[in-house]
Amino acid sequence: MPCLSPPAIQRLHTNKALLTALLPTCKNMDSARNELRWIREHVWSSTLAPQFQGISEANGNDEKSKNALLNRLCRLRGRGYPLQYILGTQPFGQLEIKCRPGVLIPRPETEAWTTHLADIVRKTWRANKTKKENDIIANLRILDLCTGSGCIALLLCSLLSRKFPNMHVQGLDIEPRAVSLAKENLAYNIERGLLRQQNANAVSFKGANIFSTDWLAPILKQADLIDNRRFKQSALERGTVDILVSNPPYISQEGFDRDTERSVRDHEPRLALVPELPAGISSYGTVLPEDMFYARILNVAKVLQPRFVVFEVGSLAQAIRVVQMARGRYREAEEAEIWRDWPDMKPREDEPESVDVAGMTVPVRGSGNGRAVFLR
């Protein structure tokens, strides 16, 4: 057996110490090795999140300084600090979404239902052949409420803009840090060639409290100014917005304290996860506190009359409650579906393909936990 050189022995001991530091969060050695590799690559290529790039630049770029930073980051990660906040980005479809403390980290399950929705949109309009219909279809309008990092809005734009060249996507959020990061993500993905330059004018992000009414009037006015005839000409288009999507806060305070991972509780924004009633409002009728955003957005849908509505939810039970709410608040929805985490996967034998909601049979697509409600 060949003898290891002193530097090789030192690297072996160093790697063992770093892997040991990562294990409390990573749970197994394979995951720890992967995360160590990713953190090391970002340290050596100076592509960490901005707050850690500043530390690297202040301490120098020599090997000793980089190893010290690597050690610090592995220990930080081992204490539950999110990997995406260390590396600075999270893949989302073909996009790279910048991640920053104060803004929710995009999840793979959100990516899955967003991609599934884009497929449905393309298939729905595929059969339309006349020039008049195609001219109208090209102006697809999408509204993303509680947009956060902008990941849903940007991925829909990426997946649909070629078929709908004059589409417009608007994302709204109450958190200024989220709006700023969403704008940054638009510019970042265009700069990297992951979004086309034409998309720069197709997507916009603004601050708004969706429980107010101030933001609704400009959307209604803008749609009327763009084409007052548009909604009279086509039976396919029903309202001011064609697609309304939202991944709102939907976790109860009890669920947040009991069920979320430590890294989520300690480091991700509670405002993006646990609904808070607006000032001056003590309750939202008989709606559960964790469901109040759905009630509000369904009221918005009655005004905007979108063709499709998609909500992210936290469980199958919550999805059923949202469908029940939709039947009472948004009667224009002729069809409802529940999508699991992976809506394109075949369900397991123990996963029912439909549920009964107040006498209506609602299809349940895919495999995993209840993740989204689709209304058409």
Give the pLDDT confidence of 337-349 residue by residue, as tens digits: 999 999 999 999 9
Whether 130 has a pLDDT exceeding 90, the answer reads no
Tokens 């009633």 identify what position?
A: 277
Q: In the prediction, which pLDDT does 198 show?
A: 86
Q: In the prediction, which pLDDT does 238 show?
A: 53
pTM score, whole prediction = 0.89
Whether 31 has a pLDDT exceeding 50, the answer reads yes
pLDDT in tens, 235-290: 334 568 999 999 999 999 999 999 999 899 999 999 999 998 777 666 677 899 99
- Cβ atoms of 192 and 199 closer than 8 Å: no
Q: Cα(302)–Cα(291) distance, rounded to whole angstroms?
A: 17
pLDDT in tens, 168-217: 999 999 999 999 999 999 999 999 999 999 889 999 999 999 999 889 88
Residue range(s) in the chain whose domain bears CATH number 3.40.50.150: 108-375
pLDDT in tens, 48-74: 998 898 776 666 778 888 999 999 999
CA 354, chain centre distance (Å): 25
Whether 228 has a pLDDT exceeding 50, the answer reads no
Q: Cα(10)–Cα(113) distance, rounded to whole angstroms?
A: 46
Helix, strand, coil percentages for the chain (3-state, nearest 5):
50, 15, 35
Q: Cα(284)–Cα(80) distance, rounded to whole angstroms?
A: 35
Q: Cα(229)–Cα(215) distance, rounded to whole angstroms?
A: 23
Q: In the prediction, which pLDDT does 298 show?
A: 95
Average pLDDT over residues 135-162: 91
Average pLDDT over residues 112-123: 96
Task: Check the CA dihedral 200-203-205-206 and report its sign.
Answer: positive
108-375 — its CATH code? 3.40.50.150
- Cβ atoms of 56 and 46 closer than 8 Å: yes
Q: Phi and psi dihedrals of 271, rounded to 5?
A: -60, -30
Question: Whose CA is closest to 132, among 229, 245, 251?
Answer: 229
Whether 24 has a pLDDT exceeding 90, the answer reads yes
Q: What is the mean pLDDT of the chain?
A: 88
